[in-house]
Amino acid sequence: MEKDQNVRPITHAADILRRMRPAFEFVGFITAFIIGFIFMKLFPRRMMRKNEILSGRLIKSIFVGILFLVLTPAVVAVLAITLIGIPLAMAVVLFYLAVIYLAKIWVGLCFGRWLLARAGVGERRGWALLVGLLAYYLVIMVPYIGWVVKIAVLFAGTGVLVIEKIELYKSLSKKRII
């Protein structure tokens, strides 16, 4: 039997992972959609508020996101110096990681609503989330531009959360709730 000269065996772990990337991205897409859908059902007003902020203040969201992503590790380092601050630092790290993961969901919902509005489909939040996340996961698979989109989405998504939480705090403070 002759071996096909054009087919080389998969011998390295990197080759295996590279070939499995679409499957990993598909699982990531499904997971993000499920989590985003749960958030939309549990916190519909908060999700729509994030959408409004992102739609109206994209550049501000990106800059706030950059500040959040740069300054949070410094705050964690300062907290971790003291014995009392270690548990708080661990909580901040968990929050930081959750925000990094959820950023794509908020941006995906906003982008999906924008796409559906352009298509004349109307207000369909579940479909908007599905379309937005699908677009995100397809674009990040494109070589050379995928990582740029991933970073921009990370900055915008984290920034929108920070802006939304600051506005929520101001609103509750104004009502003397906190």
21: in domain = yes
7: in domain = no
54: in domain = yes
The closest alpha carbon to 94, from 70, 61, 72, belongs to 72
The closest alpha carbon to 136, from 156, 112, 101, 114, belongs to 112
Distances (CA, A) of 73 to 67, 107, 152, 154, 156: 11, 23, 19, 16, 18
Query: Of all residues in the chain, what percent carry a pLDDT higher than 90?
Result: 51
106: in domain = yes
105: in domain = yes
What does the pLDDT look like over 75-129, one tens digit per residue? 999 999 988 899 999 999 999 999 999 999 999 999 998 988 888 887 788 899 9
Cβ atoms < 10 Å from Cβ of 3: 8
124: in domain = yes
40: in domain = yes
Evaluate if residue 14 carries a pLDDT over 80: no
Domain that holds residue 41: 13-174
Query: How many independent structural domains does the chain possess?
Result: 1
32: in domain = yes
Q: Quote the pTM value.
A: 0.81
* Cβ atoms 86, 79 nearer than 8 A: yes
* Cβ atoms 33, 133 nearer than 8 A: yes
For residue 38 the two structure tokens come to 């749960």
List CB contacts of 96: < 8 A, sequence separation 6 or more: 72, 73, 76
